Structure 1
């Protein structure tokens, strides 16, 4: 199989298989991807914004290895097949300690007598640059990720180092590109362990190396960036998190297979999966994943920025979908970075109400508890206190559960004591409660717990030192780190496209009589998070329905559909992807500080799309006749 790397490289599309979309994907998915069919590369994205930070303190204390255990387990299970089939592996499972995982993998290969060269990428850790406490950031705090948008109001509780001098940084990491990965492959590495590279960087690196692209081949790099975007969330492109699943046999989605990207020399790709695996790859599943976690019509990476306006998605075979139309340009001079620090303490108290008079019950409870907290002055020490009612009782209920809703009392404070006071306040009024009040007997969520707050930032690329280091099996030691430099050219990010909220398209009255239906009966969608912001994209299947959707779904209409979830503190950007009949929105600020810092029950925004799809809207009868949903 060695001939593949001498005779086939660059002569055909490179086959890149994804084995992980987050740390919890099972390790055996790597083994499955290397054994279920022919591939050239295995890539894996193990790092959500949160799990890297969650392990940082334990790693610093010596109680955590710093790498992702499922990544190590996958390599243990797969390394012999990887060696036999000469498959290259590029994963970010090294997390906080890529050198440590690289050493373990190299020693494993040596023990098994396998001829494999292992390397690791460094340079994402910013703590040596920024310091170990918030006090160190007083004069060097990088600008907020959304600071370059004058229309966006940053969260009120964003990081202010002047007010939190003694608080330690837990982690600070830049999102690296693919330069070190490409250099490592050129040096002959078979397995490359990365830390916080951007989600798509392993895929970009694989295609860049395979096709011998230049670092100025921006259209090709941009195409590979979107290929990586499509497969980095594992089963999300093969049927997971798919809003159209209700149209198909549910058996298809019980265990979707993980995806492959076949990336051609021009940067276009075909998304597919191994034969015989579950799930499906269709235009709909690919469009859903394409619209996931976008920040508008420009997708950024440290090596390239991709323009998405002219994207095309075309079914070219069973479980085979081609993506084209992506163009590229030089990257911006900054890359994304995330800084995590101790945000204080959180608690949530969950209470249930059943049936008759539910609205009045929750009003009474909130009034009682707020009065109790005011009398004891505890309310002044709570930085956040929210009373969130989840659900609505079913009319003429079939069971008590269908008649029950719950209230989520969510609170934050700098210390534990006020939150314990909140819990005692609930206790003190426990027998003064409304009719039928009850709660689960397990109250562990009500005990204050420390949480990590996130600050998403922009960090200058030229201040990074990105390196690649190999493990030398002969000397059983690391070689000297190779500095891979920086992109040859930068280009400032232009103002993001925002089609005005007053966009009219074709007048809605021209479509004729309407019929009330749920939006989800005619449109599919996907939503997710980008730090403080939520993104959501809606698409339809035919030109006639698209003509209506783009006219109907303005920014002002989305605000109306959001109802009580909208706040004037938020800002909306709206773009269109005409070739795939999609409208996409970014709602800035709705997730607060984001991730574990968000007060929303749906902190990652995943349920927002189906919330809006469940809204009843007026759809023209002639449009319904054209719809294929």
Structure 2
């Protein structure tokens, strides 16, 4: 077992992150591993269509460009690299890297992970699976009503699958590292898997060292998302000089043998790492108090975040248990066609204007017999006109008429119905100049599912080179030694909380003045974690933000078919919620303007709430 922590530097959180971040992470300081996450659920599906049509290489170009620019430094400094930029064709990218290594005569062993692609197991059509259709990801929770839109495909005669990929763990990567691989190209491994594998290999953990694996899982969660731990997507940025956040550096996790870690970054890079930036990223895209992975379940209840130096924060308190017998599988299929009309209204009488427009368009659709051919029709009003506006733009809102259909023709006919309104529109009506979104566009729908880990055929292939006799070999990674079913996630209001009246008189305050937050998506569900900036507010905050009060504050955004889960993380003074079903099908299939839930936290922070005067006095120096 290594005597020092392993230093793992992340260079990417999405395919659009600059490829040169890999070279920066390799050259600005000493690191043992460079990892990169290039895959979101949507870009994997989009690449799949293009790849199978022969219009895409199947891997992410930024992953290749990063390796190509950095390979000499990586070889010289003996840095190991693990990336999921192989996307749908990790073997292809690995061979390309192996050819580059040979061309430059470098002693670098290249490998790739396989086993995530489920297309050959599921077949080409989702509707034909019948009883073999994998269960929906949320079907294990009896309280959750899976959105109707997520299961609507079951009524169709044919539903072509575009991509189907299981989220693999770290096992195959570890096998590759033990066999001597220096660069490992993966497809759809879980975002944190490269980081877990680096620590697992470095510290020679066993696959039953669950506390350590759970700690490294959270380390991976904290650094895999680009610059989110160093100031990107940070709700507290308004309290600092904006120059700090123009180009934040990328994070590094120093993972110790016990699984605890310190998150830092290279000296001289932008952004910052504080307890608050780490708390925000910790709360990102959680599903409650248990973080699931193919190798371990991480229990988050007792997490502690501690500043240990400038731009250095330690995370501890994570414990682990055996993984569940299933892993997540992302299935995308052709969902039909979408279009949207973006229509503007200004000033006086806005509410009535939108009511008139909706009535006119619905009447025309009925008369034309089109409404029955639309699978979805929503009139979403965005914004509220400013009172006594200082400019016309401040007085303007828009209506997003969002439409879906199985075929493009009904959407084309809807445009004709809209044009029939012609000059019979409301006063001051005007459109955006860009009308491209009004034309029917095919879209990919998302079905998040569960897939048996024992049915996976996961392995790692090491590509031969002249230094090992050109021998290419494949190693099976096997399966976890034991499984443990996921118990019901915790869901509770504050225990032994003091009555709100006991905190004394209150005054109205914008929640964002005292609370930071982060939100995101998990398929159909939206998560939001909120924490008080000052610990003196904690007892009031946990009593105040109950499930009932959270729903009340949501107002029109709450619907009876949703399910709400609430847990607390007292070590970071946070309350965390999951709203099941609010994102519909999720990803490209969500009808919400904020389809990935990233804006929800700041919307919620804009709420005005009653805060005890005595507590505000105690923390006024921080407001």
TM-score range, shorter chain: over 0.9
Map 1:213-292 → 2, pairs under 5 A: 213-292=205-284
Q: Name the residue aligned to 2:483.
A: 490
How far is the alpha carbon of 1:132 from its aligned partner? 1.1
Q: Name the residue aligned to 2:184.
A: 192
Kept in 1: contact 2:507–2:613 (CA 8 A): yes
Q: TM-score, normalised by structure 1?
A: 0.97
Kept in 2: contact 1:526–1:538 (CA 8 A): yes
Q: CA offsets, 1:449-499, max 9 Å, x none? A: 000000000101000010000110138967232111000010010001001
Q: How far apart, CA to CA, are the structure 2 residues paired with 1:625 and 1:493? A: 44
How far is the alpha carbon of 1:163 from its aligned partner? 2.5
Q: How far apart, CA to CA, are the structure 2 residues paired with 1:280 and 1:573? A: 32
Q: Secondary structure at 2:507's aligned position in 1?
A: strand
Q: Does the C-alpha gap of structure 1 residues 378 and 160 become closer, same or farther in structure 2, counting only changes over 3 Å? A: closer
Q: How far apart, CA to CA, are the structure 1 residues paired with 2:152 and 2:475? A: 36
1:535 and 2:519 aligned: no
Kept in 2: contact 1:137–1:161 (CA 8 A): no
Q: Name the residue aligned to 2:430.
A: 438
Q: Name the residue aligned to 2:56.
A: 64
How large is the RMSD of aligned CA atoms in angstroms?
1.2
Q: How far apart, CA to CA, are the structure 2 residues paired with 1:478 and 1:157? A: 50
Kept in 1: contact 2:128–2:158 (CA 8 A): no
Q: Secondary structure at 2:485's aligned position in 1?
A: coil
Unaligned runs of 5+ residues in structure 1 are 1-8
Q: Secondary structure at 1:51's aligned position in 2?
A: helix
Q: Name the residue aligned to 1:6.
A: none
Q: Does the C-alpha gap of structure 1 residues 303 and 587 become closer, same or farther in structure 2, counting only changes over 3 Å? A: same
Kept in 2: contact 1:130–1:136 (CA 8 A): no
1:380 equivalent among 372, 395, 401: 372
1:513 and 2:505 aligned: yes
Q: How far apart, CA to CA, are the structure 1 residues paired with 2:618 and 2:454? A: 52
Q: Name the residue aligned to 1:499.
A: 492
Map 1:97-116 → 2, pairs under 5 A: 97-116=89-108
How far is the alpha carbon of 1:374 from its aligned partner? 1.0
Q: How far apart, CA to CA, are the structure 1 residues paired with 2:157 and 2:261? A: 49
Kept in 2: contact 1:503–1:554 (CA 8 A): no
How far is the alpha carbon of 1:545 from its aligned partner? 0.1
Aligned length: 620
Q: Does the C-alpha gap of structure 1 residues 504 and 429 become closer, same or farther in structure 2, counting only changes over 3 Å? A: farther
1:321 equivalent among 313, 329, 343: 313
Q: How far apart, CA to CA, are the structure 2 residues paired with 1:481 and 1:45? A: 24
1:408 and 2:397 aligned: no
How far is the alpha carbon of 1:138 from its aligned partner? 1.4
Q: Name the residue aligned to 2:473.
A: 480
Kept in 2: contact 1:133–1:165 (CA 8 A): no
Q: Name the residue aligned to 1:170.
A: 162
How far is the alpha carbon of 1:398 from its aligned partner? 1.0
Q: Name the residue aligned to 1:15.
A: 7
Q: How far apart, CA to CA, are the structure 1 residues paired with 2:417 and 2:471? A: 58
Kept in 2: contact 1:138–1:161 (CA 8 A): no
1:548 and 2:540 aligned: yes
Q: CA offsets, 1:239-292, max 9 Å, x none? A: 000000011111100000000000000000000000000000000000000000
Kept in 2: contact 1:146–1:154 (CA 8 A): yes
Kept in 2: contact 1:134–1:165 (CA 8 A): no
Q: How far apart, CA to CA, are the structure 1 residues paired with 2:495 and 2:237? A: 32
1:149 and 2:145 aligned: no
Q: Does the C-alpha gap of structure 1 residues 160 and 128 become closer, same or farther in structure 2, counting only changes over 3 Å? A: farther
Unaligned runs of 5+ residues in structure 2 are none
Map 1:296-307 → 2, pairs under 5 A: 296-307=288-299
Q: Secondary structure at 1:299's aligned position in 2?
A: strand
Q: How far apart, CA to CA, are the structure 2 residues paired with 1:587 and 1:213? A: 36
How far is the alpha carbon of 1:622 from its aligned partner? 1.2
Q: How far apart, CA to CA, are the structure 2 residues paired with 1:137 and 1:441? A: 44
Q: Secondary structure at 2:449's aligned position in 1?
A: strand
1:354 and 2:382 aligned: no
Q: Name the residue aligned to 1:3.
A: none
Q: How far apart, CA to CA, are the structure 1 residues paired with 2:332 and 2:227? A: 28
Kept in 2: contact 1:134–1:164 (CA 8 A): no
Q: How far apart, CA to CA, are the structure 2 residues paired with 1:58 and 1:242? A: 34
Out of 589-598 and 377-386, give the one that drifted further: 377-386
Q: Does the C-alpha gap of structure 1 residues 478 and 549 become closer, same or farther in structure 2, counting only changes over 3 Å? A: farther
Q: Secondary structure at 1:125's aligned position in 2?
A: coil
Q: Name the residue aligned to 2:28.
A: 36
Which aligned runs of 4 or more in structure 1 are off by greater than 6 angstroms? 475-478
Q: Name the residue aligned to 2:612.
A: 620
Q: Secondary structure at 2:473's aligned position in 1?
A: coil
Q: Secondary structure at 1:108's aligned position in 2?
A: helix
Q: How far apart, CA to CA, are the structure 1 residues paired with 2:477 and 2:255? A: 24
Q: Name the residue aligned to 1:370.
A: 362
Q: How far apart, CA to CA, are the structure 2 residues paired with 1:598 and 1:582? A: 28
Q: Name the residue aligned to 1:457.
A: 449
2:381 equivalent among 389, 400, 418: 389
How far is the alpha carbon of 1:46 from its aligned partner? 0.4
Q: Name the residue aligned to 1:422.
A: 414
Q: Secondary structure at 1:458's aligned position in 2?
A: strand
Q: TM-score, normalised by structure 2?
A: 0.98
Kept in 1: contact 2:294–2:327 (CA 8 A): yes
Q: CA offsets, 1:123-162, max 9 Å, x none? A: 0001111111124411311100000101100010223665
Q: CA offsets, 1:161-195, max 9 Å, x none? A: 65333221100000000000000000000000000
Q: How far apart, CA to CA, are the structure 2 residues paired with 1:170 and 1:587? A: 28
Q: Does the C-alpha gap of structure 1 residues 136 and 479 become closer, same or farther in structure 2, counting only changes over 3 Å? A: farther
Q: How far apart, CA to CA, are the structure 2 residues paired with 1:513 and 1:472? A: 73
Q: Secondary structure at 2:430's aligned position in 1?
A: coil
Q: How far apart, CA to CA, are the structure 2 residues paired with 1:610 and 1:542? A: 18
